[in-house]
Amino acid sequence: MISSKIRLVILLTGCLSFCFTAYAQPSAKDGVLDLRQNDLDGEVELNGEWQFYWQQFVNPAAIPAKSDVRVQFPFLWNGYLLNGHKLPSFGYASYVLTIVMPKHTAPLRMSVPDVYCAYRLYLNGKLIASNGNATQGPDGFRAHWQYRAVDLPANTDTLRLVLHVSNFVHYRGGVKSPLALGPKAPMELARQRSEAIDLLLTGCLFMGGLFFLGLYIFGNRDKAVLMFSLYAIVYSYRIIGTDNYVLHSLFPDLNWYVAVRLEYMSLFAGIGIFGLYCRYLYPADSNKKVIAAITIVCFVFTGISLFFPAYYFSQLVNPFLVVMVFCLVYVPYLYIKAWRLKRPGSIYSLASSLALMGVFAISLLHYWNIVPQLQLLSFIGYISFFFLQSLVLSHRVSFVLTRARHEAEQGLVAKSEFLSTMSHEIRTPLNSVIGIGHLLLENDPRPDQQAQLQTMIFSANNLLGIVNDILDYNKIEAGMVTFENIPTDLPAIARNIVNSLATIAQDKAIDLRLNIDSELDFMVNADPTRIAQVLTNLVHNAIKFTNTGEVLVTLGLKKRSETELTVRFGVRDTGIGISLKNQALIFDRFTQADSSTSRSFGGTGLGLAISKRLLELQDSQLHLESEEGKGAYFYFDQIFAPGGQSLMVAAPAGQAPANPAAFSGLSILLVEDNILNVMVVQTFLKRRGAVIDVAGNGQEALAMLDTSKHRLILMDLHMPVMDGYEAARRIRAKGITIPIIALTANLPQDIQDEVHAAGIDDIVVKPFLPDELYRKVLHYVS
């Protein structure tokens, strides 16, 4: 089987040989092109031996004396050795050719490309085309480059062409591209197609360049992206403003002296910019000095093209070929290196340089008149080149974005870890503050001390609320919130909230009322903690922002079916209300309706943001109706699945009041390293008559545990030497089933899986109220 590379070579050779054969053309001899054997059904280039008259404009109307000089058309005269003298660039001359035509032809057309740098073309004595003003001296001379096409009279047996050319501006003089003769319709179509391809390619490159420029300006400021955009824009000019000169056909008045500068500048600057592009694309792999040398040459040449006359800068093309050939070797070398070093997107760079090589090969072969222009193939090559380069950049941009996202995600993880550590650290001492506050309250303080203690506990609880809010918001943002779906008694939740906030309302002399739909007599499947959190927040706000009047909490059944219950939760107050402008703001984090709010009412501005997000995560929306000064109504509808039980038979949720007698003589092992916490828990429990042994860490606990005596273990989780999880695991490994309750400053939902896996039965979250601890302990020992 032939390898794919060999197959490619065969294919290419096949294509080229086809091109060569297709390109075999008749040739003029001794100033005469005999086309009698040619039926002219395809385009014929008028190449071969033309008569040449140096420094003469022969009379087109008369048959001139034969010139001694024959030149191979197309013919540039500069540097040509005539009578022992090298011809200069500046001067004028006539080219003459006689064409003997076939008998019958279809309507014909002759195409005349641009020459250096002005001409007049006569056919059988009549002027048929001209560019600029061809003169015999610099006076009145005007250069112009534009493609022209002339329709020829049918059935003429002889065509005598006289071409007057003059040049007083360019380093080259004479004719570089062939004139062509052929059937009108296909030639017209070919030209239209060629212009269309140029326009299309220009549009693609220009828009691509603008796109990448936008990406650079508004995006990542990657210099490789900037250079590529500039390169594409500059190169787009070259497609339309050189070779076929489509731009000059579109704008026939385009000033030659401007256009020629742009043509050369775009060539030099284009390569320089491309060098910089490669440099920024692969900074570690490209040689700084080599790129610097290329860029300097390119930009010096660009400068010369801008400021010097065309005669000088038009000579720079030949030395510049050296730079181009060097780039043709260096750039693929660089791309191969980048590819071997596995730089992102480098495989596309490599493929693109192959495409560019193809384009250069075609234009070189065409330059040497070996193949025709093969414009479509070049077009495909260019498009592939720019497309592949865009892929390199897209790959690079998305690589940077992926890395940035990864870093951001890591940052988010670090932030949430930091916040949970901080909140843990803050909650632990708060436990002592609140615990000791409660202990002191139980010690018969003086009335003034009692008021101070209550303020202290209130402030500590506030602080705890803030810490919890920040932690919660952080978790919502990090997408780490999960919801429970367990049978829940919604009216009980509402009653509990109203009861727990009743004292605050009473203190402000506000009427706090609860109105529950009598039809709401079913348990539903829901997350009771989150519902309580949202509702508490709304009721708490309503009380906070109401100075007179009432707060009404409502639970209404909006819709009921076999499978779904829609419940509307509402909190209406007669407080300060919220202006329309602020209604849009208060759901954002850390935003309060008015900056004086936090001074007069306290708060962080997180509560509503959290409530809103929590509801959204459960497909519900928090709504607000309010008018400034006339109170506010917050409400949301939530859809639940029935929880199976009627509330009439529902078991009361483990809220049995603590029975003080049950503690008497109860032996508990307290495992805790923080002495203040030891003091708080010990004092709470000893007051009820429990007997407490204290271990400072897990290892001590294992040594001290006496199953014949201890009825329960209260275990801190974070301790030196051996933590609570490990201690619990070892206790369970010994087959001991004594209840273990974890004391932790972490949020239960964060640790419950780990706690469960370690064999721990329950969690009490610090800071806790004495009653909470009593209830949990009693639940496990009774």
Interatomic CA distance for residues 107 and 151, integer angstroms: 8
Interatomic CA distance for residues 269 and 299, integer angstroms: 6
Minimum CB distance to ligand ADP smaller for 202 or for 592 = 592
Minimum CB distance to ligand ADP smaller for 477 or for 750 = 477
- Minimum Å gap between C-beta 609 and ligand ADP is 6
Minimum CB distance to ligand ADP smaller for 567 or for 632 = 632
Minimum CB distance to ligand ADP smaller for 133 or for 554 = 554
Instruction: Please state at what angle helix 346-367 crosses helix 375-441, rounded to 10 degrees.
Output: 160
Paired strand residues for 626: 632
Q: Shortest CA distance to 767 belongs to which of 461, 561, 477?
A: 461
- Minimum Å gap between C-beta 587 and ligand ADP is 8
Interatomic CA distance for residues 583 and 599, integer angstroms: 20
> Whats the size of the chain, residue-wise?
782
Residues with Cβ within 8 Å of residue 406, at least 6 apart in sequence: none
Q: 3-class DSSP state for residue 245?
A: coil
CB–CB of 488/524 below 8 Å?
yes
- Minimum Å gap between C-beta 461 and ligand ADP is 14
- Minimum Å gap between C-beta 638 and ligand ADP is 19
**Matching residue, tokens 């008559």:** 689
Residues with Cβ within 8 Å of residue 431, at least 6 apart in sequence: 677, 680, 745, 766, 767, 768
Two tokens at 151? Answer: 């329709």
- Minimum Å gap between C-beta 545 and ligand ADP is 3
- Minimum Å gap between C-beta 496 and ligand ADP is 20
Residues with Cβ within 8 Å of residue 706, at least 6 apart in sequence: none
- Minimum Å gap between C-beta 536 and ligand ADP is 11
What residues make contact with ligand ADP under the rule CB under 6 A? 537, 541-542, 545, 573, 575-578, 586, 592-593, 597, 603-609, 632
Minimum CB distance to ligand ADP smaller for 46 or for 578 = 578
- Minimum Å gap between C-beta 603 and ligand ADP is 2
Interatomic CA distance for residues 431 and 428, integer angstroms: 5
Minimum CB distance to ligand ADP smaller for 352 or for 533 = 533
Q: 3-class DSSP state for residue 631?
A: coil
CB–CB of 117/143 below 8 Å?
yes
Q: Is the dihedral of CA 751, 753, 759, 762 positive or negative?
A: positive
Minimum CB distance to ligand ADP smaller for 573 or for 700 = 573
Minimum CB distance to ligand ADP smaller for 542 or for 764 = 542
Distances in Å between the Cα of 68 and the Cα atoms of 125, 206, 340 are 22, 50, 61
Interatomic CA distance for residues 550 and 631, integer angstroms: 10
Residue number closest to ligand ADP, CB atom: 603
Minimum CB distance to ligand ADP smaller for 609 or for 701 = 609
Quick one: DSSP state of residue 231? H
Minimum CB distance to ligand ADP smaller for 48 or for 570 = 570
Q: Is the dihedral of CA 655, 660, 666, 668 positive or negative?
A: positive
CB–CB of 744/765 below 8 Å?
yes
- Minimum Å gap between C-beta 639 and ligand ADP is 24
- Minimum Å gap between C-beta 582 and ligand ADP is 7
Interatomic CA distance for residues 546 and 540, integer angstroms: 10
Minimum CB distance to ligand ADP smaller for 585 or for 662 = 585
Minimum CB distance to ligand ADP smaller for 204 or for 614 = 614
**117, amino acid identity:** C
- Minimum Å gap between C-beta 551 and ligand ADP is 8
Q: Is 487 exposed, middle or buried (0-12, 13-18, 19+ CB in 10 A)?
A: middle
- Minimum Å gap between C-beta 606 and ligand ADP is 6
- Minimum Å gap between C-beta 507 and ligand ADP is 17
Report long-range pairs for 614-620 (Cβ below 8 Å, ≥24 apart): 614/476, 614/481, 614/530, 614/533, 614/534, 615/534, 617/476, 617/481, 617/483, 618/483, 618/527, 618/530
Interatomic CA distance for residues 274 and 278, integer angstroms: 6
Minimum CB distance to ligand ADP smaller for 6 or for 584 = 584
Two tokens at 356? Answer: 């560019």
Two tokens at 747? Answer: 């949020």
- Minimum Å gap between C-beta 607 and ligand ADP is 3
Minimum CB distance to ligand ADP smaller for 317 or for 585 = 585
- Minimum Å gap between C-beta 621 and ligand ADP is 16
- Minimum Å gap between C-beta 556 and ligand ADP is 19
Minimum CB distance to ligand ADP smaller for 263 or for 573 = 573
Interatomic CA distance for residues 6 and 151, integer angstroms: 47
**Matching residue, tokens 């040689």:** 287
Minimum CB distance to ligand ADP smaller for 51 or for 592 = 592
CB–CB of 184/109 below 8 Å?
yes
**627, amino acid identity:** E
Which spans in 632-747 are helix H?
675-687, 698-704, 724-733
Q: Shortest CA distance to 519 belongs to which of 561, 562, 557?
A: 557
